[in-house]
Amino acid sequence: MHRHLLTPSRQPVRAHGHLPRHRLAMLGRRTLRLNDEQGQTTVLTIGLTAIVVALLVVMLAVTTVTTQARRLQALADGAARTGAAEAIGAVDEESLDVDPADVDHAVATYLTDVDAIGFLPGLGGVEARVLDDGASTVEVHLRAEVSLMPPGGAFADTVPLSVPISATGDARPTVRR
């Protein structure tokens, strides 16, 4: 039984029948190259593993930033409530004028009491003020840096090491009679 091969001119020729030896050698090398797939699965596995690891790193970074932003917002809200509560004690009978120094002190005390630096290690900027809106609204603005990776490492020049976040909380003192 004879197997037929296609020559480059697409004409069937019997295997080892009427082909010169150099043609047979060329056909043999082509066949070996086409059938030699060793190592391709390894390359595919390594590539897919790299993609999965990259996705996991991105998901971890997004989760970290979101969690720290929520913590910062909770700190800003609590500091504003504390500043407003302090303002209520400083309000005189006829007006709701609040002393900004009292608010600053109350906010600083609150952030120290709740160990804000331990709660959110990258806490950097604290700004407390009393708005002139007729209701003496206390507004607290906090800024922080969220570290995504330890300093240095393989990706230090390609991936940002920290992301700035900020949060604003406000509260109004209410006097009930």
**pLDDT tens per residue across all 177 residues of the chain:** 555 555 555 555 555 556 666 665 666 555 555 555 667 888 899 999 999 999 998 898 899 899 999 999 999 999 999 988 877 665 555 555 677 888 888 999 999 999 988 888 888 889 998 888 767 789 999 999 988 776 666 666 666 678 899 999 999 877 665
19, part of any domain:
no
Is 94 domain-assigned? yes
Q: Which helix (H) or strand (E) holds 73?
A: helix 40-90
Q: Which domain holds residue 54?
A: 31-171
How many structural domains does the chain have? 1
Bridge partners for 168 per DSSP: 141
pLDDT at 86: 79
Inside any domain, residue 162 = yes
pLDDT, residue 78, reads 93
Instruction: Give φ, ψ of 88 to 5 degrees.
Output: -65, -40
Query: Per the domain annotation, does 11 fall within a domain?
Result: no
Residue 130 pLDDT: 86
- 15 in any annotated domain: no
156 assigned to some structural domain: yes
Task: Give domain status of residue 20, yes or no.
Answer: no
Quick check: is 129 in a domain?
yes
Long-range interactions of 131-137: CB distance < 8 A, separation 24+: 131/170, 135/96, 135/172, 136/87, 136/91, 136/96, 136/97, 136/98, 136/172, 136/173, 137/84, 137/170, 137/171, 137/172
Residues 6+ apart with CB under 8 A from 28: none
Check: pTM over 0.85? Answer yes or no.
no
